[in-house]
Chains A and B, each alone.
Chain A
Amino acid sequence: MKVLIPSPLLSYTREKEVDATGTTMTELLADLDRRYPGLRFRVVDEQGYMRPHVRFFVNGEQVFDMTRALHPTDAIHIVQALSGG
């Protein structure tokens, strides 16, 4: 599936849109980390939760559950949330 990458993570992917696979958000992020080592820990903490100023959207819907099921046609957006000045 297609994953839209925010600018803070372009140092890992070098592209704004990349391909990745997974049947859940957890699997998707694991696959992204395999392709772009180090990326996952910047957006998900060591307890498995999304970091405070990073948000995930699936087909335009905000997702908080990392076990949320994904389908190959889903469009994923990783978004940088507001984080102050």
Chain B
Amino acid sequence: MARAKRSPRRSPTGRVMVLVATRKGAWLYHGDPARRMWKVDGPHFLGHIIHHLVLDPRDGRTLLAAAKTGHLGPTIFRSTDLGRTWKEAVRPPAFAKARDGEHGRVVDHTFWLTPCHANEPNSWYAGTSPQGLFRSDDGGVTWAAFSSINDDPQYRKWMGSAQDGTPDGPKLHSIIVDPRDSAHLYLAMSSGGVHESHDCGETWSPIVQGLEVVEGFDPANIAFHDPHCVRMCPSDPDRLYQQNHCGIYRRDRQPSTWTRIGKRMPKQVGDVGFPMVVHPRDADTVWVFPMDGTSVWPRTSPQGKPSAYVTRNGGKSWKRLDAGLPEHHAWWTVKRQAMTADAQDPVGLYFGTTSGDVWMSRDEGQRWVCVARHLPEIYAVEASELR
């Protein structure tokens, strides 16, 4: 299959804003054109648990923040002036009220935010914990539930219970919109597999062929699949990459099975991790950040030596990228939403650690520098181009 050629592209102003969501609030970092100096704006929502903070690429000014606190229930905040002022959603994501005698589900937190298609301004998707899919068509003010996922008996079975999910709750994440077709969507559930819709979310089908599950379990059972992060290649929307609980995978439209490309990773590092980052213009280039998935699953940097890994040939080979990172005794890791790329040339990479540091690379991972220290535990990092 022909791949899009690499072409230099810079944002109109050459400025990148990095959005950092943490367990205790959110911070915005405004970069200079060289991405060397970063001006901090924050904290926003100090004390709030912010799971995701996203800039709307369709207007370059609107921010949505998924928030809750230790005491209060979940909500969404919206800013239309790059964070100077915030307004709370009137109707945040919430499951349907159960009928008498039935046990209804409760949204613990909104975990994931995705702007809808470029032709659907003001529309957003949200994924929640426990697993739920929601959509807003008024810029995030009110949210409606997708019954096709949230209330479907088969999907509810695949979602499992709260005890089947991640430590702070099972999640619906990696909501992806095909830039060629607003009705073509993907989502993933931890646990509950990867799913595809061709009708704007009215119906969904699992796409798990080729994915492995924990040894001894049946991969035909969708409930056993635990995708950690799925990304679509902007330069080739027929290609998906996935960091899974059981390895790193690639999937092309033909053949439509997942191939475990992580088997080429160094054995002592393995191919377990959370984030997956795709190159904005080269579908053969992706980055991962492995964690220790051995024995009791420490979920730290393997051997205390953190490093990103890159493949530039679709997963045939991998290269370690650790220049500038701590050489040893660094036991943090990077969560699934906490690593990202900008659209500059060369691509800037960014990640936030569970120990509260933000690292970036101006040269696609050849060298890393720390741009912020001592933040709370970092849940999500996004890099957006300002207009």
Chain B 70-98, CB-CB to A under 8 Å as 1, else 0, gives 11110100000000000011101011111
Also in contact, A46 and B104, with CB within 8 A (given A37-B90, A41-B92, A41-B94): yes
Across-interface contacts of A37 in B (CB, < 8 A):
90
CA distance A81 to B70 in the complex (A): 9
- Chain B contact residues: over half helix, strand or loop, or mixed? loop
User: Chain B interface residue count: which class?
Assistant: 10 to 19
Contact A38 B88 (CB under 8 A): yes
Contact B97 A47 (CB under 8 A): yes
Q: Which of A39-60 contact B (CB under 8 A)?
A: 41-49, 51, 53-54
Chain A 43-85, CB-CB to B under 8 Å as 1, else 0, gives 1111111010110000000000000000000000000110110
CA distance A45 to B96 in the complex (A): 11
Contact A81 B71 (CB under 8 A): yes
Across-interface contacts of B371 in A (CB, < 8 A):
none
Q: Which of B71, B75, B106 contacts A83 (CB 8 A)?
A: B71
The A-B contact count (CB < 8 A) is 51
Question: At the interface, yes or no: B107 with Cβ under 8 Å from chain A?
Answer: yes
Also in contact, A8 and B104, with CB within 8 A (given A37-B90, A46-B97, A47-B98): no
Across-interface contacts of B73 in A (CB, < 8 A):
41-45, 51
CA distance A46 to B92 in the complex (A): 10
Least Cβ–Cβ distance between B206 and chain A, in angstroms? 27
Contact B70 A46 (CB under 8 A): no
Question: At the interface, yes or no: A4 with Cβ under 8 Å from chain B?
Answer: no
Question: At the interface, yes or no: B317 with Cβ under 8 Å from chain A?
Answer: no
Question: At the interface, yes or no: B69 with Cβ under 8 Å from chain A?
Answer: yes
Question: At the interface, yes or no: A9 with Cβ under 8 Å from chain B?
Answer: yes
Least Cβ–Cβ distance between B167 and chain A, in angstroms? 13
Across-interface contacts of A43 in B (CB, < 8 A):
72-73
Contact A51 B72 (CB under 8 A): yes
Least Cβ–Cβ distance between B140 and chain A, in angstroms? 13
Least Cβ–Cβ distance between A7 and chain B, in angstroms? 9
Which 8 residue pairs spanning A and B have beta carbons closest together? A83-B70, A46-B94, A42-B72, A47-B104, A80-B71, A45-B106, A53-B71, A42-B73
Q: Give 25 CB contacts A-B under 8 Å.
A: A8-B71, A38-B89, A38-B90, A41-B94, A42-B72, A42-B73, A42-B75, A43-B72, A45-B73, A45-B106, A45-B107, A46-B94, A46-B95, A47-B97, A47-B98, A47-B106, A48-B97, A51-B71, A51-B72, A51-B73, A80-B71, A81-B71, A83-B70, A83-B71, A84-B70
